[in-house]
Amino acid sequence: MELTKEVQEGQQAYTRWGLNYYRFFVLGFSNRLGWRCSTPRLLRMYDEHVSGNHLDVGVGTGYYVANCRYPAANPRLGLMDINENSLRYAAGAADKYSPEIHRYNVLEPIPDDVPKFDSIGLNYLLHCLPGSIAEKSVVFDHLAPLLNQDGVVFGSTVVHDGRHNAIARYLLKAYNERGHFHNSSDTVHGLESALRERFDEVEVQLVGSVAFFSARKPIGTPRSTDGE
C-alpha cells in the first residue's frame, strides 16, 4: 500500500509503544485537561450512535469499540485502518466480538465487496488526515457506500477554532509541527459544510477543542418508503 508522506506522518506514531502511550496519555490526560472533552464523554457518543452492525475507521487502541454499549448481544464489528499495528491492537482490545479486519486507506476508494454497516465511527481520525477539511472530507464519499439505508456516520475531531486552553494550544502546535496532526485550518463551520454537502441530516457540536458530528441519509441515495 503506497502512502503519501503526509499520510505516513499522520499514522507513524501508532507503533506498539505509541499505542500504549496513547492509551494512557490521550485517554487519561489530554482528553480531559487538554481538549477538555473527557474520555467518558467520547464513550457516551458511541453509546448514543453505535449499532449492532458497526464499522470503526481509524481505530486507535480500540478502547471505544471495546467498552461501548451495543444494542445487540453479539454485534458485528468491523475495524478499518491503514496501520497494521492499530488494527492488531484494537482487535485485541475488542477480541470478544471477533472483529473483522479491513486494511484500507480511506482517502482512496474502498472496494465494493465490503459488506455494509448500520453505523460507521470516525473518532479522532480527521485531524490526522492531510489537507483542508474540504479535501479530507473525501473520506465521507468513500465510506457512504458502506452505509446501510437509515444508518449513521458519527465521530469527533479536534478543530483549530475550538475552545483551546494553554495545554491544547501547546499540543496543537507540537502535533502539527511533527506531522501527527494536519488540522491547522480545520473549523467547525468547514466540517459542517462538508457534511451538509453529502448528507441530508447533520448535527455538529463543539465540546472544548473537539467537534462531535453525526450524519444520516447520504444525498443521492434511495430513501426508505416505509409508511408511505
Q: What is the CATH number of the domain that holds 70?
A: 3.40.50.150
Report the percentage of the chain scoring pLDDT > 70: 87
Residue with cell 485550518: 185
**pLDDT for residue 28:** 87
* Most distant pair of Cα atoms in the chain: their distance: 54
Distance in angstroms (rounded) separating the CA atoms of residues 100 and 109? 19
Is 200 within a domain? no
Domain that holds residue 77: 5-184+207-218
Instruction: Place 23 in a pLDDT band, splitting at 50, 70 and 90.
Output: confident
Q: Which grid coordinates are listed for 38?
A: 473527557
Residue 180: inside a domain: yes
Q: Is residue 223 in a domain?
A: no
Whether pLDDT at 223 is above 50: no
83 domain-assigned: yes
What is the pLDDT confidence band of residue 3, given thresholds at 50, 70 and 90? Answer: very low
Q: Are 137 and 194 in contact (CB under 8 A)?
A: yes
Helix, coil or strand: residue 146: helix
In a domain, 195, yes or no: no
Question: How many domains in the chain?
Answer: 1
60: cell is 486507535
First to last CA, the chain: 46
Band (pLDDT 50/70/90 cuts) for residue 13 is low
- Does the pLDDT at position 21 exceed 80? no
DSSP 160: T
CB 154 within 8 A of CB 137: no
Other CB atoms within 10 Å distance of the CB of residue 196: 14
Task: Flag whether 32 is in a domain.
Answer: yes
Cell numbers 488526515: residue: 129
pLDDT at 36 over 90: yes
Residue 227 forms part of a structural domain:
no
Write down the pLDDT at residue 15. Answer: 62
Q: Given a cut of 90, is residue 173 above it in pLDDT?
A: yes
Q: What is the mean pLDDT of the chain?
A: 90
pLDDT per residue as tens digits for the range 94-142 = 999 999 999 999 999 999 899 999 999 999 999 999 999 999 999 999 9
Which is more confidently placed, 189 or 226?
189
Has residue 19 been placed in a domain?
Answer: yes
Distance CA(52)–CA(119), nearest Å, equals: 8
C-alpha to C-alpha distance for 89 and 95, rounded to whole angstroms = 10
CB 104 within 8 A of CB 113: no
